[in-house]
Structure 1
Amino acid sequence: MWLTNTIRAVTIMQFKLATFATLAAAVATFAPSALAASCYSQSGCPNCESKSSVFAARQQFCGSDDWNHSNSISWGWAHVTLNGEFATQQECWDGFEQIIDQCYGSKDGGIYNFDFNGKSARLDVGFCNCE
């Protein structure tokens, strides 16, 4: 009896695991393929914008229509370049914030790549200018 119940429990767990794996694969197929930001390898430039200035640029860039077509802005020591277009404005907000959160204070900028539903974008945010 104990062996029968154990085998039955293992079979149920295997079924649940297989169902979960299938469901996870299906969700991954339809989810945007955007990963965490990639920070520049360079760091230590002395001429950098403040974090609040970079967040203000995020507001200006993603809060306008700049997010939905290739575009570039520069201010002070910093720049933002978008090649391609995001599927939604929220992707611009999220990608820009990931670059700031993961790279500001340790690297001189970062890149966020987005690819979903026929739309692709490469957002490059540089906080500094070493020249």
Structure 2
Amino acid sequence: MRTFSFLLFAVSAFAASCYSDGGCNNCENRDSLYAARSAWCGSDKWSYSNSGGWGNAQVSVNGHFDSPDACWNGFADIIDQCAGHKNGGTYNWNYNGNSANLDVNFCSCR
């Protein structure tokens, strides 16, 4: 059972894919990105396809998550894995027939 739990953690820990480019100077910092996550996933924006800006950042969802928690987790994975060294990232989520592609561009120079 412990091996199985570890495997689930390992898979979820690498769910985000960072952009290949990095080094833009017009990017939101981690605090701002976490505020964007709170505003985005704390509203109903996780539940339908849409896009919008947050300072220099751009956020878009194609499809929809089945809960705010799924949005929170995906957004956090992108920030934790990509912020500070890449200009953004994506997170693909599929569960029980629902799917969402979350794309968070941290910078205005892409």
TM bin (shorter chain) = 0.7 to 0.9
In structure 2, C-alpha distance between the alignment counterparts of 1:58 and 1:77, rounded to whole Å? 14
For residues 35 and 79 of structure 2, the distance between their equivalents in structure 1, rounded to whole angstroms, comes to: 11
Higher percent of residues as strand: 2
Poorly superposed stretches of 4+, deviation over 2 Å = none
TM-score by length of 1: 0.72
- Give the unaligned 5+ runs of structure 2: none
Quote the sequence identity (%).
54
| Shift, 1:126, TM fit | 0.7
More helix by percentage: 1
1:98 aligns with 2:71: no
* Corresponding residue to 1:120 among 67, 86, 99: 99
The aligned residue for residue 48 of structure 2 is: 69
RMSD: 1.8
Larger Rg over CA atoms = 1
AA matched with 1:41 = S
**Letter paired with 1:56:** A
Count, aligned residues: 102
Report the TM-score when normalising by structure 2.
0.85
Partner of residue 111, structure 1: 90
CA–CA separation in structure 1 for the residues paired with 2:102 and 2:53? 13
